[in-house]
Amino acid sequence: MKQPRAWQRMLSGRRLDLLDPTPMDIEIEDIAHGLAFVARWNGQTVGDFAYSVAEHSLLVEQIFAAMNPNAPVRWQLAALLHDAPEYVIGDMISPVKAAVGPGYETLDERLMAAIHIRFGLPAQVPADVKKKIKKADKISAWLEAVQIAGFTKAEADKLFGKIDSNIAQTAEIQLRAPLAVRQDFTRRHAELMDLL
């Protein structure tokens, strides 16, 4: 019986094997393009544009850097790339991930390891760094939930934890055209790579 196709052709011309990804088949332009067109919250947000995973990633990296001003640049890069596998597997909301089961997590981990190696990061980010990135991710999720996804502050507090009131008042979610977000994501990646 013929095996189903498990690779995807990227706009760069690369052919990424989803079951056995290699760092050589990963390009930042493909990641930035894919993430700029993947909607968070399954697209259930207000505004003229979907809130993309690329925009979310930029915000998480900013929050992480603000909360960890002495963190090495490589961990800022890890924060920027924290959802990078979603450029090919999409952004599944937590209830869908739970329904899909451990297969999704395995695929995500394989892709993340290849992405990290491609850009000079360790395949696995240290647990303490991962925890700090997750904290920034939850703050971003809280802001998104309240500002553009229709959640009350009480609902967001329950799901994502309470956040610092200064962050809640000063951080504003941006909704922009995908190509502008793609450009900013690629630019930020290049800035961080130049600092490594």
102 pLDDT band (50/70/90 cuts)? Answer: confident
Please compute the mean of the pLDDT values over residues 59-68 and round it to a whole number.
95
Q: What is the pLDDT of residue 113?
A: 98
6 pLDDT band (50/70/90 cuts)? Answer: confident
Contacts made by residues 1-9, CB under 8 angstroms, sequence distance 24+ = 8/88
Contacts made by residues 24-30, CB under 8 angstroms, sequence distance 24+ = 24/118, 25/114, 26/114, 26/115, 26/118, 28/119, 28/186, 28/189, 28/190, 29/186, 30/87
93 pLDDT band (50/70/90 cuts)? Answer: confident
Between 112-121, 157-166, 174-183, the lowest mean confidence (pLDDT) is in 157-166
Q: Which has more confidence, 11 or 96?
A: 11
Q: What is the pLDDT of residue 94?
A: 76
Q: What is the pLDDT of residue 23?
A: 97
Q: Which domains are seen in the chain, by residue range? A: 27-195 (1.10.3210.10)
Which of 81, 111, 119, 120 lies closest to 16 in space, CA to CA?
111
Please compute the mean of the pLDDT values over residues 46-50 and round it to a whole number.
95
Please compute the mean of the pLDDT values over residues 89-113 and round it to a whole number.
85
> Can you tell me the distance from the alpha carbon of 163 to that of 118, in angstroms, rounded to the nearest whole number?
33
Q: In angstroms, how far is the first alpha carbon of the chain from the final one? A: 47
Q: What is the pLDDT of residue 165?
A: 84
